[in-house]
């Protein structure tokens, strides 16, 4: 039985956050580099310890070790490169060099500093093949890798102007330190993590309940991925609010369920991303992690249970994987059913994204035992409030959505 709550990857939570009032004199006059939302979110994740033991963006040795051996150069298991990419033109224009401190800005304001240890290149095709197992540009992670700049900056970062998290996400934003403190207050020694980027149907609910029982846990932490969206994805507001609705509607007791967010752009790296998710949730203080069918997969690039088998190939990383097969709705049993459990498999009604999408698009509520009516109603409300009438990402939503992170001016700094 795993019993390592509050024990992060690497042994301690990395915290690299400086008070803006103390940092302003240090950052004034530094060379600046503007970064996009992806890099900004990863600066935040590094600084608050979501990515412990990383203290900054990876250098060449770490990228090579992760790509080829699924480890950091220090020996700790790690499965996805965390890199700060730039173009050769940006390197030349900014005059970036090793041994200097650079100010990273986001939305026109200071965000973090990086102590540049390395400026290096890495073969992006090799990176894609190592991480995703393919160089097929139909894979969204491969396309992301192909779009990276030709140079990478390695070095420790320090957050000097923490961003604000916008409503409704602010209610669910907790750093690893804050979550660990809350778990202690709640008396949660065994905590099951549920990774999600979808609104919950009954199969998700029963998967969480079964994992809670199997782990002998005191709590379930839903950790919703909030990040880059593709057309047809659920809007982020609907995802996080509908999961919280399972608690407020009483399907989970107040003292056993909690919803939180992770600022992360899915890589869809299948088994490698499953390992990454386990490490991040370990850093949040979780002792167990649920992995269902086709975890972090996309299309037909991975076997549906590749993310189960990967944990036979990596050493114990200090969080116990709970492996789940398929859940569906059984009309004969009158509720959720599980692979191999009941004898009515020929009658099964799949609890899938297609099933949920069809229900929401038609506006016709399915069985309460397949899709909770409170969740259905809340997702419909989110569509009207945040999604221009649709609970799914559209071009209109992408143009007009409120930013998840906003920056305040750093007093005393002039760009």
pLDDT at 26 over 70: yes
Residue 1 has pLDDT above 70, yes or no: no
Torsion on CA atoms 257, 312, 314, 125, rounded to nearest 10: -100
Do the two domains 20-165 and 169-400 of this chain adopt the same fold?
no
For 233, half-sphere exposure in the C-beta direction (CA atoms, 13 angstrom radius) is 20
pLDDT tens for residues 43-65?
A: 999 999 999 999 999 999 999 99
**What pLDDT sits at residue 410?**
94
Write the pLDDT tens digit of every residue in 119-137.
Answer: 999 999 999 999 999 999 9
Is residue 5 very low, low, confident or very high in pLDDT (cuts 50, 70, 90)? very low
Write the DSSP symbol of residue 163: P
pLDDT of 343 strictly over 80: no
In the predicted structure, residue 301 carries a pLDDT above the cut 90: yes
What's the rounded mean pLDDT across residues 364-368?
71
Contact (CB, 8 A) for 382 and 238: yes
Express as a percent the part of the chain with pLDDT over 70: 93
For the chain, the domains span 20-165, 169-400
The tokens describing 87, both together, are 């173009």
For residue range 227-246, what is the model confidence (pLDDT) as tens digits?
Answer: 998 888 999 999 999 999 99
pLDDT band at 324 (very low <50, low <70, confident <90, very high): confident
Q: Check whether 270 has a pLDDT greater than 60.
A: yes
Residue 41 near residue 47 (C-beta atoms within 8 A): no
> What's the pLDDT score for residue 39?
97
The sign of the CA dihedral 185, 189, 195, 200 is negative
Q: Pick the more confident residue, 230 or 16.
A: 16
Q: What is the mean pLDDT of residues 21-41?
A: 95
Buried b (16+ CB within 10 A) or exposed e, 1-22: ebeebbbbbbeebbebbbebee
Residue 363 has pLDDT above 80, yes or no: no
Rounded mean pLDDT of the chain? Answer: 91
Read off the pLDDT band of 3 (50, 70, 90): very low
Alpha-carbon span 83 to 87, nearest angstrom: 13
Q: Which two tokens stand for residue 181?
A: 């403190």
Give the contacts of 218 (CB within 8 A, at least 6 positions apart): 186, 187, 188, 189, 190, 191, 256
| Cβ 96 vs Cβ 152: under 8 Å | no
Q: Please give the CATH topology (third level) of the domain spanning 169-400.
A: Rossmann fold (3.40.50)
pLDDT, average across residues 404-409: 95
What is the CATH class of 20-165?
alpha beta
């Amino acid at each position: 039985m795993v019993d390592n709550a509050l024990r992060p990857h690497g042994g301690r939570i990395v915290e690299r956050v400086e008070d803006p009032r103390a940092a302003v004199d240090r950052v004034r006059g530094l060379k600046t580099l503007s970064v996009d939302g992806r890099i900004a979110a990863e600066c935040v994740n590094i600084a608050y310890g979501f990515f412990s033991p990383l203290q900054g963006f990876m250098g060449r040795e770490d990228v090579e070790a992760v790509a080829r051996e699924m480890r950091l150069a220090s020996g700790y298991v790690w499965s996805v490169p965390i890199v700060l990419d730039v173009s050769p033109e940006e390197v030349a224009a900014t005059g970036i060099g090793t041994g200097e401190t650079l100010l990273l800005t986001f939305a026109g304001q200071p965000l973090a500093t990086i102590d540049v240890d390395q400026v290096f290149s890495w073969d992006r095709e090799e990176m894609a093949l190592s991480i995703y197992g393919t160089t097929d540009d139909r894979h969204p992670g491969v396309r992301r890798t192909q779009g990276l700049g030709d140079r990478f900056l390695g070095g420790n970062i320090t957050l000097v102007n923490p961003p604000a998290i916008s409503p409704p996400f602010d209610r669910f934003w907790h750093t690893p330190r804050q979550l660990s403190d809350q778990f202690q207050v709640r008396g949660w020694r065994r905590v099951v993590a549920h990774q999600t980027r979808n609104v919950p149907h009954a199969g998700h609910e029963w998967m969480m309940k079964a994992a809670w029982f199997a782990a002998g846990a005191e709590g379930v932490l839903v950790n919703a991925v909030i990040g880059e969206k593709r057309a047809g994805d659920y809007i982020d507001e609907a995802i996080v609010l509908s999961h919280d609705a399972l608690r407020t509607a009483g399907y989970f007791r107040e003292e056993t369920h909690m919803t939180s967010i992770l600022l992360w752009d899915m890589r869809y790296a299948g088994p490698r991303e499953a390992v990454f998710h386990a490490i991040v949730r370990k850093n949040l203080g979780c002792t167990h992690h649920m992995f269902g069918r086709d975890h972090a997969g996309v299309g037909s690039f991975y076997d549906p249970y590749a993310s189960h088998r990967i944990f036979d190939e990596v050493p114990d990383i200090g969080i116990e994987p709970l492996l789940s097969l398929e859940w569906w709705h059984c009309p004969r049993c009158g509720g959720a059913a599980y692979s191999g459990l009941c004898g009515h498999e020929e009658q099964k009604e799949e609890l899938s994204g297609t099933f949920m999408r069809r229900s929401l698009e038609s506006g016709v509520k399915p069985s309460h035992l397949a899709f909770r009516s409170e969740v259905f109603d809340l997702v419909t409300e989110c569509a009207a409030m945040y999604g221009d009438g649709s609970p799914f990402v559209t071009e209109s939503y992408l143009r007009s959505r409120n930013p998840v992170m906003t920056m305040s001016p750093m007093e005393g700094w002039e760009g």
